Structure 1
Amino acid sequence: MRIPVLDTNKTPLMPTTPTRARLLLKQGKARPYWNKLGIFCIILTYQVNPDNQPLVIGIDPGSSFEGWSIVGTQETVLNGMSETPKHVEKAVETRRTMRRSRRYRHCWRRPARFRNRLKNRSSIPPSTRARWNAKLRIVTQLQKIIPLTDVAVEDIAAVTKKNCKQWNSNFSPLEVGKQWFYRTIRSLNLDLHLRTGYETKDLRDRFNLRKTSQKKKPVFSSHAVDAWVMAADVSGAKQPTERGLFYWTPIRFHRRQLHRLQPETGGIRKPYGGTISLNLIRGTLVNHFKHGLSYIGGSIKERLSLHHFRTGKRLTQSAKPTDCTILTRIAWRTTHYTDTRQSAFLSRLKS
């Protein structure tokens, strides 16, 4: 695994090895930094001339899990696996039910605001936009710490109606979402390369790599292998030099609502949700003197609620803001899985 490097202006440079990054930190020539993906980076404290090489990021889209891989001409910089957001459709339905119940409880009716409608406007369904926007946010976060030049994506296609090409190409939510994603990728000054499903299969055979049938397993061969072969086909790499991966789970923040779904004693409906807790943004990564690395998930009675930055498990609800050292803001829970084969080989050498 390579460590991303930023210069004094936070411009991404070529990633370095963990040994060299540790040496730079020890000598005081760099300082630590975490981005929103929870990836550890270093920021140099002295001026350098950038000498960047082509780096290609491969993306393997999926309905539940997605694969990521950043590959250079020889080295594998990073592998990743992420979960797709699935709560949007149910959240939109809940919001609609709450709105209807509020209107039913009150006698007044607001006038229809036709100008607010999306009539004759291009739009993407909320659940579709959330899935493709999650991919885009990961790409932009990686682009901030790694000098990416190209993007290789598996061009997925879903037939929704038989013998109706116009519907499949213009009205399918999947087609509309991916075309929006492709346009946005090109606007980021990145060269886009598309590969079909059978081309990805041929690339796996060419590189002599296998894909496991256990899609939920956080290993290189589940989803990242497809992302790697597509990126390596563009960059020219011969074999993966890194099989460990980052596992990203998006942190869900409950947006501000008018009140809770169910009233409490006395028929009182308290306000619920929000993204600010005691003047701190929820999702801020902090270092607590007792609970260590954790992120802010909420507040109650002038105390912070801290959650484990990997599992999301709540650690405490009574943390004082003065006991927390603010590091950065994260939007994903991150876990790094090392290559099991490499770990077993190293353990045999030590024994």
Structure 2
Amino acid sequence: MRIPVVDSCGVALMPCTPATARQLFKRGKARPKRNRLGLFFVQLCYAQEPDNQPLVVGVDPGSKFEGFSVVGTQDTVLHLMVEAPTHIKDAMETRRTMRRARRHRKWRRPKRFNNCLNRKKRIPPSTRSRWEAKARIVAHLKSILPLTDAVVEDVQAATRNGKGGKWNLTFSPVQVGKEHLYRLLTGMGLQVHLKQGWETKQLREQYDLKKTKQKAKQSFDSHAVDSWVLAASVSGAEKPTCQRLWYIVGAVLHRRQLHRLQASKGGERKPYGGTRSLGFKRGTLVSHSKYGLCTVGGFDRKKQTVSLHTYRTNKRLTQGAKPATCKVKTWVAWRSWLVPSK
């Protein structure tokens, strides 16, 4: 595994080995940092002229899990296994139901037809969030690694015949979403290469690699194996020099609502949602004297306390933590950790 390196101006350089990173820290020439993905990288204390080699990122899209790999001409830099955002569709459906219920009440204003997005190019929110999440991960990787190319498995939508044979070109969320992703990657200055599913299988057989059927398994052979062969097909790498895996989960923020949809005991509807908890942004990584490293969740207005959650599993630890006992570390948009090797 390689460690990403940037200079004092934030320019991405070629990654280094862990031994080189330790020597830089020991001599005081660099300092450790983490980006929004929670990935560890090295920032030099001086500017350096970049002498970079081509680095290729492979993207294996999926419905629930996705794979990302960064591969050079010889060495493998890193592997990512990411949980795809699947909560947007249910959230939009709930919001639509509540909005229609409000419009049917007499005291609500009628629907304004002049502010609809009729005849305007628009991507559904669930499709946009799913495919833009992939682009954001590649953008965060590009900020610490000198990426030059991106190889994406071109997933195919289920087609059906329509008028002129063009039904699937505009009515398929997969077709609209993947084209949106390709435009975003091209806008980052990356050379985009597309591979079909059968080509990915041939590449696995060519490199003598096998893929497990357990999609949720946190290992290299679940999703990262496909992303690696995609990237290696362009970079020219002969074998994966490292199979260690970073597991990444996106932070889910519950937007503020007037109150809960279902009344609690006694018919009382409590306030719900929001992105701030007594001065903390929800999801902030804090250090607590009793619970250690954890994240901030909701809060109690009466008791003026916040809830703390386990960093990896997001399981709630307590609801009675005082803000003064929480030492802020940082805020990350994703929770990530290095999967232990067997």
- Kept in 1: contact 2:123–2:176 (CA 8 A): yes
Query: Is the deviation greater in 136-145 or in 171-180?
Result: 136-145
| Shift of residue 152, structure 1, vs aligned partner | 0.4
What is the letter of the counterpart of residue 60 of structure 2? D
Quote the Cα distance in structure 1 between the aligned partners of 2:144 and 2:330.
14
User: Could you say which residue in structure 2 is the equivalent of 1:317?
Assistant: 319
Unaligned runs of 5+ in 2: none
What is the letter of the counterpart of residue 207 of structure 1? Y
What is the letter of the counterpart of residue 278 of structure 1? L
User: Could you say which residue in structure 1 is the equivalent of 2:150?
Assistant: 151
- Kept in 1: contact 2:161–2:167 (CA 8 A): no
| Shift of residue 239, structure 1, vs aligned partner | 0.5
Quote the Cα distance in structure 2 between the aligned partners of 1:302 and 1:201.
55
Quote the Cα distance in structure 2 between the aligned partners of 1:50 and 1:332.
29
What is the letter of the counterpart of residue 19 of structure 1? A
- Kept in 2: contact 1:306–1:317 (CA 8 A): yes
Quote the Cα distance in structure 1 between the aligned partners of 2:153 and 2:289.
45
Where does 1:173-252 land on structure 2 (aligned, <5 Å)?
Answer: 173-252=173-252
What is the letter of the counterpart of residue 141 of structure 2? L
| Shift of residue 103, structure 1, vs aligned partner | 4.0
What is the letter of the counterpart of residue 169 of structure 1? L
Residue deviations 1:312-342 (CA, integer Å, cap 9, x gap):
12223233333333332212221312442xx
What is the letter of the counterpart of residue 124 of structure 2? P
Q: Give the number of aligned pairs.
A: 339
What is the letter of the counterpart of residue 305 of structure 1? S
Quote the Cα distance in structure 2 between the aligned partners of 1:33 and 1:267.
49
User: Do residues 126 (structure 1) and 125 (structure 2) align?
Assistant: yes
What is the letter of the counterpart of residue 160 of structure 2? K
User: Could you say which residue in structure 2 is the equivalent of 1:17?
Assistant: 17
User: Could you say which residue in structure 1 is the equivalent of 2:34?
Assistant: 34
User: Do residues 302 (structure 1) and 301 (structure 2) align?
Assistant: no
Quote the Cα distance in structure 2 between the aligned partners of 1:256 and 1:166.
41
User: Could you say which residue in structure 2 is the equivalent of 1:172?
Assistant: 172
Residue deviations 1:116-147 (CA, integer Å, cap 9, x gap):
21100111222222211211121111112212
| Shift of residue 266, structure 1, vs aligned partner | 6.1
User: Could you say which residue in structure 2 is the equivalent of 1:332?
Assistant: 334
Using the size of structure 1 for normalisation, the TM-score is: 0.90
Quote the Cα distance in structure 1 between the aligned partners of 2:161 and 2:137.
34
User: Could you say which residue in structure 2 is the equivalent of 1:253?
Assistant: 253
Quote the Cα distance in structure 2 between the aligned partners of 1:29 and 1:296.
34
Quote the Cα distance in structure 2 between the aligned partners of 1:18 and 1:322.
36
Query: Is the deviation greater in 118-127 or in 308-317?
Result: 308-317
- Kept in 1: contact 2:9–2:47 (CA 8 A): no
| Shift of residue 292, structure 1, vs aligned partner | 2.6
The 3-state SS of whatever aligns with 1:149 is strand
| Shift of residue 264, structure 1, vs aligned partner | 4.1
Residue deviations 1:178-223 (CA, integer Å, cap 9, x gap):
1111111101111101001111111111111111111111111111
- Kept in 2: contact 1:312–1:333 (CA 8 A): no
Report percent identity of matched pairs. 56
Quote the Cα distance in structure 2 between the aligned partners of 1:115 and 1:16.
57
Query: Is the deviation greater in 265-274 or in 149-158?
Result: 265-274
User: Could you say which residue in structure 2 is the equivalent of 1:141?
Assistant: 140
- Kept in 2: contact 1:311–1:333 (CA 8 A): no
The 3-state SS of whatever aligns with 2:166 is helix
- Kept in 1: contact 2:73–2:236 (CA 8 A): yes
User: Could you say which residue in structure 2 is the equivalent of 1:48?
Assistant: 48
Residue deviations 1:282-305 (CA, integer Å, cap 9, x gap):
222223333332222222233232
Quote the Cα distance in structure 2 between the aligned partners of 1:303 and 1:4.
38
Residue deviations 1:41-94 (CA, integer Å, cap 9, x gap):
222223322222211100001111111100011110010111111112211111
- Kept in 2: contact 1:35–1:329 (CA 8 A): no
Residues 327, 232 of structure 1: CA spacing in aligned structure 2 closer, same or farther, 3 A cutoff?
same
What is the letter of the counterpart of residue 132 of structure 1? W
- Kept in 1: contact 2:79–2:224 (CA 8 A): yes
User: Do residues 95 (structure 1) and 126 (structure 2) align?
Assistant: no
Using the size of structure 2 for normalisation, the TM-score is: 0.92
Quote the Cα distance in structure 1 between the aligned partners of 2:22 and 2:299.
36
Quote the Cα distance in structure 2 between the aligned partners of 1:231 and 1:88.
30
| Shift of residue 268, structure 1, vs aligned partner | 4.2
Query: Is the deviation greater in 170-179 or in 23-32?
Result: 23-32
Residues 153, 282 of structure 1: CA spacing in aligned structure 2 closer, same or farther, 3 A cutoff?
same
